[in-house]
Structure 1
Amino acid sequence: MRDISARSQHPQWLYNLIVTGREALLGWQTAGLPEPKGTKPRQDPATARLFQRDCATCHGGPGTAPASFALSLNPAAPPLSAIERPAAEILWLIRNGLKLSAMPAWEDHLSEAEMRALTGFVRALPGISPSEYRSLAGLRWSSPESTLRPGSGDTGPGDPVRGRRLTQGFGCRRCHLIPGLPGDPAPRIGPPLTEVAARGYLGGVLANQPGALAHWLRAPQHFSPGSAMPDLGLGPRQAADIAAFLLTVSGPGRKPTAPD
């Protein structure tokens, strides 16, 4: 019997089938539609705040994590900064939603002008930096205090088995290709997490010493301001477990710690 709980991932072949079918049907649904008026790329504070209120809850924004519950959606809502679509497709998805996903139909909840403004903002997202997004949306960023003190927050060796579950539960596969974890084959914002153990630096700025990956996972933008990697609200133990899993599956010749 197939496990239907949200704690269990679909096999990769099913993800591929879902995405292929979705894109084909969406293309058919919007074929021949002209570019809708009022949907040119835009980067204004009012629309950014609207996006943060109604869209970022599930999709997140540049350098900004979704709401905690949305990190565990299965399948997870994709980060829109990595996706470029025609305006007609974006507006159609906003207006009508998408069955068999968490994407709702917004037509009864937003005005036509708001839906068209959001379409333009989504079109502009790939060119908006994390710092620009926070400024537009009126967001402030803060780092967990424990990461600011060297050596604090240390929990000892992490548990890679528990880390595998947490890596899924915190939506890491939304932005990264991770060995042993299936997921949406859509374009990624972050680099593939292969050979992490062999890298000299994390994010190009933090020396990859013992314990460094857990600190990076807790507050990437503290170490690299403006990074597209958001603060996921990880506790010290959670970060240590995820780091243990990533180091286990990404080393040369290593295998995933646990099956799907």
Structure 2
Amino acid sequence: MKMLKLLLLFVILGLGVVTTVMYSGIVDVAADEPHSDFVYWILEETRENSIKKAAENIEVPDLDVPDLLLTGGSDYEFMCSSCHLAPGQTESDMSLGLYPAPPNLTIAAESHKGHEHGDGAQNDRKNFWVIKHGIKASGMPAWGKTHDDQRIWAMVAFIKRLPTLTPEQYQVLTAVD
């Protein structure tokens, strides 16, 4: 019984602290002020583990179909490049203004934080899930509300090739007829 009272006291104190923080306004939510290292680590780990778990059973189709690059390329140019950049670009108004900063997809996925481990299929599954479902409070929209799975896989196929493209190749693959 004493243990139950102690537990109840901790729960009440915890709720009091949470309520105080919520209503005091002391948490800075400005996108131009980064989180503390500890908060950033918690958010990154939570996001990465959530995506990994949600994407683990997704079946990856053949992403080497040439038509996927053309479809995915035009979609990437219009929907993604302002945040995730194009070959030869190092920043944009959008990439500079978002926090957390969107990954630069023109460089190999293995070099992005949180993507160091896992095979290509795992990265493909994770990219598909992120494109389809988006990420809350990050600026990443859920494109699955407006695009079917085939178009999303086309974007995944394009993103997979993106780090190997020159600016000229990118122009050709993203040109619209």
| TM-score using structure 1 length | 0.47
| Alpha-carbon distance, 1:87 to partner | 1.7
Query: Unpaired segments of 5 or more residues in structure 1?
Result: 140-260
SS at match of 1:77: coil
| Alpha-carbon distance, 1:97 to partner | 0.9
SS at match of 1:91: helix
1:17 — aligned with what?
42
Query: Unpaired segments of 5 or more residues in structure 2?
Result: 1-25, 111-121
For residues 62 and 130 of structure 2, the distance between their equivalents in structure 1, rounded to whole angstroms, comes to 16
2:78 — aligned with what?
53
**Would you tell me which structure has more helix in proportion to its own residues?**
2
| Alpha-carbon distance, 1:53 to partner | 0.4
| TM-score using structure 2 length | 0.65
- CA deviations on 1:163-194 (whole Å, 9 max, x unpaired) are xxxxxxxxxxxxxxxxxxxxxxxxxxxxxxxx
| Alpha-carbon distance, 1:20 to partner | 1.8
| Alpha-carbon distance, 1:88 to partner | 1.5
SS at match of 1:102: coil
* Structure 1 segment 1-260 matched on structure 2, within 5 A: 1-35=26-60, 37-40=61-64, 44-64=69-89, 67-80=92-105, 81-84=107-110, 86-138=123-175
| Alpha-carbon distance, 1:29 to partner | 1.2
| Alpha-carbon distance, 1:16 to partner | 2.4
SS at match of 1:103: coil
1:170 — aligned with what?
none
Query: Are 1:38 and 1:116, in contact at CA under 8 Å, matched by a contact in 2?
Result: no
- CA deviations on 1:126-149 (whole Å, 9 max, x unpaired) are 22233422343249xxxxxxxxxx
Query: Are 2:69 and 2:157, in contact at CA under 8 Å, matched by a contact in 1?
Result: no
* Larger RCO (CA under 8 A, 6+ residues apart): 2
1:180 — aligned with what?
none
Amino acid at match of 2:63: T
For residues 40 and 22 of structure 1, the distance between their equivalents in structure 2, rounded to whole angstroms, comes to 28
**Number of aligned positions between the proteins:** 138
| Alpha-carbon distance, 1:66 to partner | 5.9
For residues 175 and 91 of structure 2, the distance between their equivalents in structure 1, rounded to whole angstroms, comes to 16
